[in-house]
Amino acid sequence: MPTKLIAVLIAVSEDRPMVLTLEGGRVLPSGPLEAGHRSLQTGLRLWVERQTGHALGHVEQLYTFADAPDTDATDERSVLISYLALTRIHSGEHGWRNWYDYFPWEDQTTPDGRALVARIAAQLGDWARAAPPALGAARHQRIALTFGLEGLGWDDELVLQRYELLWEAGLVPESSPPAGATVRGQDMAGDGRRILATAMARLRAKIRYRPVIFELMPDSFTLLQLQRTVEAVAGQAMHKQNFRRLITQQDLVEETADLAPDTRGRPARLFRFRREVIGARRIAGSKLPLTRPV
């Protein structure tokens, strides 16, 4: 069974979470594992650099998927091994796309994102009511849980569960067969959106217990820039004072002697991440003060 290596490269630019893509945003960087590759990661790095020119730093294995053939039933299945890499966008690079282009309902920081969830809930409600009573009740419960309805609250980590529910209901173009009216959002070839959803969920979970958000930050930054980056990844707004108190209490950052040059009004102090805290003690968690959508 052939093995395919797939990379999900994530960066943040101008308060937007970005993913590196090919072929007009429809494909993630990937390539087959070849006999000459010394390891899975070696093969992945070679394919990504060859296709995008972007050299990978630290990567972590994300998930392994079984890819069903798209054409003839006699085609051989393949194993898809996906990896997550946090990076920064280099000047002159192309192919970076806002990940909310693929999952616009995941951005709960804007009225448009929250309104889209309401429209999706109505479409899913029709799907649940079209089923026999017992199945319809089970579907209704899943809809409420995954989309935070009926007072259950939005769980930003359920990215994959929301996408798979939409796929099952025939509301995305990748559904087989799709319903007549699909939900807004750019599709991807093969399992691309499923893999990206898995990466989004993994990163949203990790920022709660490891300081990985700083891998997406410049060397120095304001606290407002840091908060906006966390909000961009989580897709939820945070209370400004609670966020700053939490960050300073955990000793994750320290002031520099510099001020941000491009802020209006009172100049903002620049901070840097204290990387030594990783070795000095175990980070208990970021405990991000996320607010519920209103």
14-49: b or e for each residue (b if 16 or more CB lie within 10 Å)? eebbbbbbeeebebbbbbebeeebeeebebbbbbbe
This prediction's pTM? 0.87
Domain segments of the chain as ranges: 3-99, 105-185, 220-278
Instruction: Answer whether the bond into residue 289 is a cis peptide, omega within 30°.
Output: no
First-last CA distance in the chain: 48
Greatest alpha-carbon span in the chain: 67
Q: Which of 208, 228, 206, 209 is CA-nearest to residue 217?
A: 228
What is the topology classification, in CATH, of domain 220-278?
Arc Repressor Mutant, subunit A (1.10.10)
Asked if 48 and 10 touch (Cβ cutoff 8 Å), the reply is no
CATH superfamily of the 3-99 domain: Nucleoside Triphosphate Pyrophosphohydrolase (3.90.79.10)
Q: Do domains 3-99 and 220-278 have the same CATH topology?
A: no
- Strand ranges in 116-263 using DSSP code E only, listed in sequence order: 253-259
Question: Which DSSP category does 240 fall into?
Answer: H
109-124: b or e for each residue (b if 16 or more CB lie within 10 Å)? beeebeebbeebbebb
Angle, helices 192-206 vs 223-234, to 10°: value is 140
Q: What is the pLDDT of residue 266?
A: 75
Q: What is the pLDDT of residue 71?
A: 42
pLDDT in tens, the chain (294 residues): 788 899 999 999 999 999 999 999 999 999 888 877 788 888 898 888 889 988 888 889 998 877 655 544 445 678 889 999 999 898 778 899 999 999 999 999 999 999 999 999 999 999 999 999 999 999 999 999 999 998 888 999 999 999 999 999 999 988 877 666 678 889 998 889 999 999 999 999 998 888 889 999 999 999 999 999 999 999 998 888 888 888 888 788 888 888 877 656 677 889 888 877 665 544 444 555 554 443
Say how far apart CA 46 and CA 53 lie, in whole Å: 10
Cα 121 to chain centroid, rounded? 21
128 Cβ neighbours under 8 A, 6+ residues apart:
136, 139, 140, 143
Tokens encoding 22 = 């090919």
Q: What is the pLDDT of residue 293?
A: 42
CA 177 → CA 68, 132, 146, 172, 274, distances in Å?
16, 20, 22, 9, 51
